Structure 1
Amino acid sequence: MLWAFGYSSLLLRLQAPVLVTAITFAALLGQDVLGGVSQPWAVLIALYSVATQRGARWAWSCAAAVVAILALVSVATPVNTESPVIAGFGICIVVLIGLNVRGRSAYLSALIDRAAQLEREREQEARLAASAERARIARELHDIVAHGMSLMITLSDAADATADVDPTHSRDAVRHIGVVGRDALTDMRRLLGVLHDEEEPAALTPQPGLDALDDLVETYRAAGLPVAVTTSGELPTAPAVQVVLYRTVQEGLTNALRYARQPERVSVILRAVGGDTGAESVGETIVEVSDDGMGSSPAVSVGTERGLVGLRQRAALFGGSLEAGPRPELGGRGWRLRLRLPAADPADRVEPAPTDETIQETM
C-alpha cells in the first residue's frame, strides 16, 4: 500500500515537488523495510519535477540527500535497498533531463516575451510615426492653404481696386489668382493623396526647393509686395533643407503681405556663411525676411501663428533656430524673420572663400 500512497502523492508534484520527493522516498524505504517490491519510479518522477519546477540548486540538493540517505541505510541496516551508486547514476540522469527541459522552457518563454516586446515597440513606433505624419501634413496644409489663400485675397482686392483705373493690371492680378489657386489645389491633391487607398498609389511630386523660389517671389510681387532677393554663398543642396529654406521665405512673405502696412522694401536674404563673422559659424545657412512696414498690428485676416510654430519645428529637426520680431533699429517699423541652420556634416561646411563669393540681387 505504501507504493500506492507514494504514487498518489505525485498529483501534487507541480505545487510541492520537494515535499512529494520526501513522501515518495519515505514510501520507497518503507517498502524495502517491509520486504515489498522496490518501486523507485515515483522518486525519480518527483526529482524530475524538482528540477523542472525549482531549478538546479533544489534538484541537486534533493538528489544528494536521497543518495546520502540510501548510502547510510545500506551501511547501517541489513535492509535490502537499491545500490547507492546505481541509484545515484539514475538520479543524475533524471535531474539533468529535468534541468534541460527547464532551460528550454525558460528559453522559449524568453523568446515569446521578446516577440511580445517587439510587437509593442512596433505598435508604439507606428503610433509615433502616425503622429509625426499628422504634424507634417498639418504643417504642409498650413503652408499650402494659408499662404495660397492670403495671396488670392490680396490679388482679388488689388484686381477689384484697379478694375476701372488700370484694367491691364487688374487682368494680370486675376490671372495670378488662377495660377495661385491651381498650384495650391495641385499641392493639396498631392499631399492628401497619401491618405488614399494604398492600392491606388498617389502621384507624388517633389517638395518645393530653391529652384522654385523665383516663381514664389514673383507671385508676391504681383500682389504688390516690393520684394528684393539677395543670395550669397553656396546654399545647401539637400532637398529636405531646401524645403525648410523655401517654407521660411514663404512664411515671411505671407506675414509681410498680411501685416506690413505700406512697406517700401521687403528684403529676402539667403546666405551661406563661408568665413569667420563672429556670431555666425562657418557652414551656417541664414535666411532672413524683413520689411519696413508701419506697425505690426494684424490685418483683417488674423493668423493663428501655426506657421511660425511649424517653422520652429522644421528648424529644430536640423538643429537650427528661428527668430521673429520687430526691428528696433527702425523705431517701431518693420518686422524680421530669421532662420539659422548649422551645417549638417563637416563635409557640408562651406569653406572660407570671400574673394570667390558670388552675390546675386534681383529687384
Structure 2
Amino acid sequence: MITEETPHTAGATGLSRHIQRLLTRTRAFDARHPWVWDATLTLSWAGAALVDGAGGWQNTARDPSVPGGLVLVLSLALSLPLYWRRRRPMTALAVMACAALVSDASGAFLQAAYLQAIPVFHLALTRQPRALLWAFALILPPLVTGAVRFPQETWDQRVIPALWAYALVALLGFVVRSRRDHTAGLVDRARRLEVERDQEVRLAAAAERTRIAREMHDIIGHNLSVITGLADGGRYAAAKNPERATQALDAIGTTSRQALDDLRRLLGVLRDDEQEAVRDPQPTLADLDTLLTGVRKAGLAVELEVRDEPAPQPLAPGAQLTVYRVIQEALTNTLKHAGHSARATVLLAYAPKELLVEVVDTGTPTTARPHQGQGQGLTGMRERAALYDGLLTCGALSAGGWHVRLRLPLEGSPS
C-alpha cells in the first residue's frame, strides 16, 4: 500500500528518516493550509525589510538622503507581494521589480530588492521555461538604471553578479522541479503497478473460475446424462428382463462413483492445503474407448472411426484433453436431445497439418437442440478449441440429426 510518507522515507534510517517524515508532514500541512506558510514567510521578510529600512539601508545606499517614507513604502512593496509568489509569481515579481526600479533610480539600493529571487524560483518551479525570459526582462531594468545613474561600480561588479545569482536561483528551481516530478512519477508508477497487479489477480481468478466451471459442466453434465440414459433403459427392462435392469443399476452406481471421484479431485485443487489435493492425469485420446463404453451403456449406439495414422509426434496433453472434452460434450448433447433411437459416429481424421474431429448423430429433424452461441456446453467447446487455435462448428443436418466439427492444428502447424 502506497502511503503519503512512503515515497520520501523508503530506504532512510535513523535521523534521516525522522527529518524526511517531518518534511512530509510539513508539506501535507502546507497543502491543506497554504495561506499559513505564505503569510508566515511574507511577514518574516517584511519584518526584515522594515528593520533594514529603519536605518541599515544607508550603509549600502548611493544616496543616503532618500526620504524615510519612500524607503518604508519601497520596503513593503518589495516584501508584501511574496504572499502571492505561488499563485501569481509573475504578478508578484512585476510589483517588486517596479519597487526595485524606484529604489535603484533614487539611490536607496535597498537590499530587499534581492527578494525578487523568490518569485523567480517559483516561476522556474511551476511555469514554463519561457516565463523566465519575462522574469529577467523585469529584473534587468532596475540593475541597468542603478549602474547608469550611479557609476561608482563597474557593470561587471553591479549587473553581472546579480544576473548570475538570479540564474542560479532559477537553476535551483529547475532541479527541485525535476526531483519533484521524478518522485511523483515513481509514486504514480507504483500505484499503477498495484492496480495492474490487482487486475491481473482478478483476471486470473476469473479465468480459473471459468476453467473450473467448464470442467464441472463437462464432468457432471456427461455423467448425469449417462445416468439418465441408464435409468430410463433400466426402467423399460425391469418388466421384461430383470437381469438387464440389474446391469443398468450396476452401471448407474459405477458412473455415479466415477462422477463423484472426478468432482472430488476437481474440488480438491481448490483447498488451501495443496498436499491434500488428489492429482490424477487428465483424460487423453487413449481414454476414448472408456468414454464410448459408458455412452453405449447409457443406450446410445456410437461408433469410432479413425482415418489415417496418427502423427509421429502426438498431440500435446492439453490438446488431447480438448478433443476428449469436445467429443464428450457432443455425445452428452446427443444423449439429451437425439432420442432413444439415435445413433452417433465419432470420426478422427489425421491430416499432415491438422486433426479433424467430427461427431454426427441421427436425431430427428424436429429434435430440439441448443442454438449456436447458447448454452454452457457449446461455449465451453469453443473456448477449448480457441486455446489451441482450433475452429469448432456445429449445427443441424438437413437429413436430420446434428453434427459437431473440430479442426485442430497439429503441434508446430498453427492455422
Q: Smaller-chain TM-score range?
A: 0.7 to 0.9
SS at match of 2:126: helix
Q: Does residue 323 in structure 1 map to residue 393 in structure 2?
A: yes
Give the aligned residue type for 2:132: A
Q: Which amino acid aligns with 2:386?
A: A
Deviation digits for residues 157-213 of structure 1 (CA, Å, limit 9, x no counterpart): 223333454444333322221222122222223333454447887444443222322
Identify the match of residue 62 of structure 1 among 98, 115, 135. 135
Retained in 2: the 8 A contact 1:24–1:46? no
Report the secondary structure of 1:151's partner residue.
helix
* 2:404 matches 1:337: yes
Aligned partner of residue 288 in structure 1, secondary structure: strand
Judge conservation of contact 2:323–2:357 (CA < 8 Å) in 1: yes
Question: How far off is 1:339 after superposition?
Answer: 1.2
| Counterpart code for 2:247 | D
Alignment CA distance shift 1:71-1:25 (3 Å): closer
Larger radius of gyration: 2
Q: Find out whether 1:221 has 2:292 as its counterpart.
A: no
CA distance in 1, matches of 2:76, 2:309: 95
Residue 201 (structure 2) pairs with residue 131 (structure 1):
no
- Other-structure match for 1:42: 115
- Is contact 1:319–1:342 with CA below 8 Å preserved after alignment? yes
2:350 and 2:401 mapped to 1: Cα distance?
Answer: 24
Deviates more, 1:72-81 or 1:148-157: 72-81
1:254 aligned partner: 332
Cα distance in structure 2, aligned partners of 1:197 and 1:296:
49
Deviation of 1:51 (Å):
0.6
1:60, CA displacement in angstroms?
Answer: 4.1
Residue of structure 2 equivalent to 1:272: 350
Q: Secondary structure at the residue paired with 1:267?
A: strand
Q: Structure 1 residues 206 and 9 mapped into 2: Cα distance closer, same or farther (>3 Å)?
A: farther
Whichever structure has more helix as a proportion of its residues is: 2
TM-aligned CA distance change 1:176 to 1:80, over 3 Å: farther
The one-letter amino acid of 2:382's match is R
Equivalent in the alignment of 1:310 = 380
**Unaligned segments of structure 2, at least 5 residues:** 1-71
Deviations 1:65-93 (A, max 9, x none): 42x31453134312778711110111111
Q: Partners in 1 of 2:366 and 2:380 — Cα distance? A: 21
Conserved? CA contact 1:147–1:250, under 8 Å: yes
> Are residues 31 and 193 of structure 1, via their aligned partners in 2, closer, same or farther at CA, if it must alter by over 3 Å?
farther
Using the TM superposition, give the Cα deviation of residue 40 of structure 1 relative to its aligned residue in structure 2, in angstroms.
Answer: 4.0
Q: Distance between the aligned counterparts of 1:87 and 1:197, measured in 2?
A: 71
The farther-off stretch of 198-207 and 234-243 is: 198-207
Q: Quickly say closer, same or farther: Cα 1:90–1:146, change in 2 above 3 A.
A: same
Q: CA RMSD in A?
A: 2.9
**Residue among 145, 160, 183 paired with 1:73:** 145
5+ long unaligned stretches in structure 1? 275-282, 350-363
The letter of the residue matching 2:116 is V
Deviation of 1:43 after TM superposition, in Å, equals 1.1
Q: Does 1:16 align with 2:88?
A: yes
Q: Deviations over 1:93-143 (max 9, x none)?
A: 111110111122122222233333333333333333333333323322221
What percentage of aligned pairs have identical amino acids?
36
Q: Please report how far the alpha carbon of residue 34 of structure 1 lies from its aligned counterpart in structure 2 after TM superposition.
A: 5.1
Provide the C-alpha distance between the structure 2 equivalents of 1:181 and 1:312, rounded to a whole number of angstroms.
Answer: 27
Matched, 1:117 2:195: no
Q: Give the letter aligned to residue 142 of structure 1.
A: H
Equivalent in the alignment of 2:60? none
Relative contact order higher in (CA < 8 Å, ≥ 6 apart): 1
Q: Is the 8 A contact 1:55 1:102 kept in 2?
A: no
Partner of 1:239: 317
Say whether 1:92 aligns with 2:92: no
Q: Is the 8 A contact 1:285 1:342 kept in 2?
A: yes
Secondary structure of the equivalent of 1:345? coil
SS at match of 1:325: strand
Q: TM-score when scaled to structure 2?
A: 0.71
1:344 CA displacement: 5.4
**Number of residues paired by the alignment?**
332
Contact 1:284 1:342 in 2 (8 A): yes
Are the aligned partners of 2:97 and 2:142 in contact in 1 as well (CA < 8 Å)? no
Contact 1:258/1:298 (<8 A) preserved:
no
**For the residues of structure 1 that align with 2:190 and 2:132, how far apart are their CA atoms?**
31
